[in-house]
Amino acid sequence: MFRYTKLTLLREVITILAAIALLVPFYLLIVTSLKTGEQVLTTSSLSWPQPPTTENFQFLLSPDSTGSEQVFQGLLASALITAGAIVGLIALGAPAAYVFARSTSRWSSRTFYLFLIAIILPTQLGVLPLYTGARRLGLLGSPWGMAFIYVGLLMPLSVFLYSNFFRRLPHEYEESAAIDGASKTRIFVSIVFPLMGPATGTVAILAGLIVWNDFFTPLIFLNGSDWATLPVVIYNYVGSLISQWNLIFAIVLISMVPILVLYFFAQKKFIQGYAGGLKG
């Protein structure tokens, strides 16, 4: 029987305090984005704007505004790159992980360990050779080239997540389909892959978060092009509008909306996939 003790009360208090501490930055983000430039300089950062204004969002999103072009271009570039990377990681990562999970040869297990090592190694170690190779292949300055680069960088993560699920999937489904005369490709496409919904949701969410929020890689590979992603656009705003934090915080909020929408619709699959990946 559950008993409400002093220890339980202490845990609740600590949890509430931790939640408040985590929400304070988000509160500051919203409050500052609803202030005018004068209010940012003359009022406390914690004080609620009187009255709240949406002028910052109107300036950034209005078709006639000088700042809207960069924001919309950054949103478009980030959306194309993120979508392309997610599709590539699912289309290539799932079949590769399926081969690793079902193969019993030595090369399969050793290659899988190389994928695990690639997850641990920092991306910055391979930036120079990756940049040289991307330049020779004509991938620099292109959203699709950037998506292709992300597919290569995040493929170990995709294979790792899918492999854990494939190993936990019973072989009976595949054996029954094989007895009925289905080919291996048909078995994977029609039976195995649809059962990997939680893993696919996990790959989509994690890869989407990484690609959408990444600043370093687009700064290097899209430098000087018209396809700067939203984090790079925010960086440019910080450089040119260093005193206008209300505009900077407003564009940060705008950048959060698409990824929050993605998480809202895929959160169930994400939680199932993350739990399954840990169990695997």
Residue-level pLDDT at 64? 63
CA distance 78 to 222: 12
Q: Assess whether 166 and 31 both reside in one domain.
A: no
Predicted local confidence at residue 280, as pLDDT:
45
Question: Containing domain of residue 42, as a range?
Answer: 6-53
The CATH code of the domain that includes 224 is 1.10.3720.10
Instruction: Tell whether 61 is covered by a domain.
Output: no
Q: Is residue 134 part of a domain?
A: yes
In this predicted structure, what is the pLDDT of residue 74?
A: 86
Q: Rounded to whole angstroms, how far apart are CA atoms 136 and 133?
A: 5
Please state, in angstroms and as integers, the Cα–Cα distance from residue 75 to each residue in 89, 139, 235, following that order: 21, 20, 14
Judgement on whether residues 72 and 203 belong to the same structural domain of the protein: yes
Same domain membership, residue 184 and residue 260: yes
Q: How many domains does the chain have?
A: 2
Q: How far apart are CA 98 and CA 239, in angstroms?
A: 46
62 inside domain: no
Residue 215's CB is within 10 A of a number of other CB atoms, namely 13
Tell me the H-state helices in 106-244: 106-120, 127-136, 143-168, 172-179, 184-187, 197-213, 216-221, 230-240
pLDDT string in tens for the chain (280-residue length): 567 777 888 888 999 999 999 899 889 889 988 888 788 878 888 888 888 888 888 888 776 666 667 788 888 899 999 999 999 999 999 998 888 888 777 777 777 778 778 788 777 777 888 888 888 888 888 899 999 999 999 999 898 888 888 888 777 878 887 887 778 888 888 888 888 888 888 888 889 889 998 998 998 898 878 888 988 888 877 765 566 788 888 888 888 888 888 777 766 666 655 555 444 4
- The separation between CA 135 and the C-alpha centre of its own chain, rounded to angstroms, equals 25
Residue 227 lies inside a defined structural domain of this protein: yes
Nearest to 203 by CA among 249, 256, 246, 150: 150
Q: Identify the CA nearest to 198 among candidates 165, 160, 231.
A: 165
**How confident is the model at residue 82, as a pLDDT?**
93
In a domain, 107, yes or no: yes
Q: Quick one: 79 and 49 in the same domain?
A: no
Q: Is residue 158 part of a domain?
A: yes
Mark whether 198 and 99 lie in a shared domain.
Answer: yes
| 127 lies in the same domain as 260 | yes
- 60 inside domain: no
**pLDDT value of position 36:** 84
Q: Clarify whether residues 162 and 78 are in a common domain.
A: yes
SS3 state at 35? coil
**258 and 161 within one domain:** yes
* 59 located within any domain: no
